[in-house]
Amino acid sequence: MKNFLARYTPLQIIMHIGAWYPLARLIFDFVAGNLSPNFIQDLEVRTGRTAILLLVLSLACTPLNTMLGWRELLKRRRALGLYALLYATIHMMIFVELDYGLAWSLIVQTIVQKPRLIVGILAFLLMIPLGMTSFNIWKARLGKNWKRLHQLVYFIAPLAVLHYAWSKKGDLFALQGDIIKPLIYGIIVVLLLIFRIPPVRKFLASLRDRGLAALYHLRRRPKQDALKPVLKQ
């Protein structure tokens, strides 16, 4: 146990447990018959929501590191992104296999009729090269192009949010119906993307440094104040 705790950080343990839990719970609910009569939709909805949550969390790592100076977050980005891809793959497989029984002509017909699915597919297809090249060996091989390729995440996250919002009952474009959660995701994604713009990033880093400096002075002051009367004598 001691060895285990020395090898993994608390954040790493929370992340891995948190990422596997929705899948374990889904399988349990499926086997135990806890899903609704429309269980295929349940599976689609739950895997889709987990995929978008993990995707947004992976996108949040860099801005959070800028704001908090918590460098470990940068090391967790890859795993979060890969977990997002895992859930998106399961989500897509549920659609083609369980929902449509691999009836490809019907699948194509449905996709053509529902543009929200085209948006989801696009997001999924763009996630694949990112997942495949997320390993160090590819980082070294691709050099500068690796960073360029991974900037695709700036398109993927908004596409996934659009797919989410469009899948909800209501009118996305009139801001009516069940669109509060997708809207919150949308705002978070926009903010995360704004935080990555270099001048904004610099400003956030300077705020962090000023905050840390203020905290440092605050912690030292009591000691200095305690010395003052002694110095006066």
Interface ranges with ligand HEM (CB under 6 A): 44-45, 48-49, 51-52, 55, 84, 88, 91-92, 95, 116-117, 120-121, 123-124, 160, 163-164, 167-168
Q: Which amino acid is at 174?
A: A
Cβ proximity to ligand HEM, 66 vs 163, nearer residue = 163
Nearer of residues 66 and 77 to ligand HEM, judged by Cβ: 77
CB of 52 to ligand HEM, least distance (A): 4
Whole-angstrom distance, CA of residue 9 vs CA of residue 15? 10
Q: Are 87 and 45 a contacting pair, CB within 8 Å?
A: no
**Least CB distance to ligand HEM at residue 4 (A):** 31
Which residue lies nearer to ligand HEM by CB, 72 or 171? 171
Q: Cβ 210 to ligand HEM, closest distance in Å?
A: 36
- CB-CB contact of 192 with 60 (8 Å): yes
Residue 160 Cβ, how far from ligand HEM at the closest point, in Å?
4
What the block records as the tokens of 195 is 């935080």
The answer to whether 195 and 204 have CB atoms below 8 angstroms apart is: yes
- Tell me the residue nearest to ligand HEM as measured from the CB: 48
Pick between residue 25 and residue 217 the one whose CB is nearest to ligand HEM.
25
Beta partners for residue 177, in sequence order: 170
Q: Which is nearer to ligand HEM, 15 or 43 (CB)?
A: 43
Sign of CA dihedral 164, 170, 174, 179: negative
**What are the tokens at 229?**
């009367």
Q: How far is CA 229 from the centre of its chain?
A: 54
Beta strand 170-171 with 176-177: parallel, antiparallel or unpaired? antiparallel
| Segment 105-111 long-range contacts (CB within 8 Å, at least 24 positions apart) | none
The least distance separating ligand HEM from the CB of residue 23, rounded to whole angstroms, comes to: 15
**Beta carbon of residue 90, minimum distance to ligand HEM (angstroms, whole number):** 10
Instruction: Indicate the residue among 113 and 233 with the shorter CB distance to ligand HEM.
Output: 113
